[in-house]
A and B are shown apart, each in its own frame.
Chain A
Amino acid sequence: MALATSEQVDAPSASTVYRLENVGKVYQRNALVALKGVSIDLPEGSFSSVIGSSGCGKSTLLKIMAGLLPATSGTVELRGTPVTKPRPDIGMMFQQATLLPWRTTIDNILLPISMREGKAAAKAAREKAEALMDLVGIKGFEAAYASQLSGGMAQRAAICRMLITEPAVLLLDEPFSALDEIVRDFMNMELQRICMERNATAFLVTHSIAEAVLLSDTVYVMAPRPGRVIEEVKIELPRPRTLDMTTDPMFGDYVRHIRRLLDEGSRT
Chain B
Amino acid sequence: MTVEAAEQSAPIADHGDGPTLFDRIPQPVSILGFGAAIVLLWYLVTASGIVSPLILPTPLQTLNQLITVGANLFTGGYVLSAMWITTQEVLWGFAIAVVVGILLGILVSETRFGERAVMPYLVALDTMPKIAFAPLFVAWFGFSIESKIALAVYVSLFPVIVGTAAGVRSADENSLMLFRTMGVSRLKTLIHLKIPAGLPQIFTGLKIASLSVMAGAITAEFLGGGKGVGELIRIAATQLDTARVFALIIYLSLLGVALFGFVTVLERYVVFWRNSDPGRE
Contacts and interface: CB of A to CB of B under 8 A. Distances in A.
A145 interface: yes
Interface in B181-220: 181-184, 188, 192-193, 196
A100 B181 contact: no
A85 B193 CA distance: 20
A100 B281 contact: no
B280 interface: yes
Given A86-B181, A102-B196, 11 more contacts: A85-B183, A86-B182, A98-B177, A98-B178, A100-B175, A102-B272, A112-B182, A116-B182, A147-B273, A149-B281, A153-B281
26 contacts: A68-B180, A68-B181, A86-B181, A88-B183, A90-B181, A92-B178, A94-B174, A95-B174, A96-B174, A98-B174, A98-B175, A100-B193, A101-B273, A102-B272, A102-B273, A111-B182, A112-B182, A115-B182, A115-B188, A116-B184, A147-B277, A148-B277, A148-B280, A148-B281, A150-B281, A151-B280
Which of A90, A95, A96 has the most chain B CB atoms inside 10 A of its CB? A96
A116 B183 contact: yes
A115 B174 contact: no
B276 interface: yes
Contacts of B273: 101-102, 145-147
A86 B174 contact: no
B278 interface: yes
A87 B278 CA distance: 34
Nearest to B189: A115
Contacts of B172: 98
Contacts of B175: 98, 100
A86 B183 contact: yes
Given A147-B276, A149-B280, A94 B178 contact: yes
Nearest to A113: B182
Interface of A: 66, 68, 85-88, 90, 92, 94-96, 98, 100-102, 111-112, 115-116, 145-151, 153
Which of B172, B178, B184, B279 has the most chain A CB atoms inside 10 A of its CB? B178
Nearest to A85: B183
A92 B181 contact: yes
B183 to A, nearest CB: 4
Interface in B205-251: none
Nearest to B271: A102
A115 B179 CA distance: 9
Contacts of B192: 115
A150 B279 CA distance: 9
Which of A85, A95, A98, A116 has the most chain B CB atoms inside 10 A of its CB? A98
Which of B181, B183, B184, B279 has the most chain A CB atoms inside 10 A of its CB? B181
B26 to A, nearest CB: 30
A184 B255 CA distance: 55
B89 to A, nearest CB: 34
A66 B181 contact: yes
Given A86-B183, A94-B177, A101-B273, A147 B196 contact: no
Contacts of B193: 100
A174 B168 CA distance: 28
Contacts of A150: 280-281
Contacts of A115: 179, 182, 184, 188, 192
Contact of A145 (B179, B188, B276): B276
A186 to B, nearest CB: 15
Contacts of B196: 100, 102
Which 6 interchain pairs have the tightest Cβ spacing?
Answer: A86-B183, A101-B273, A98-B174, A96-B174, A92-B181, A150-B281
Contacts of B181: 66, 68, 86, 90, 92
A146 B281 CA distance: 12
B188 A148 contact: no
A90 B175 CA distance: 17
B267 to A, nearest CB: 13
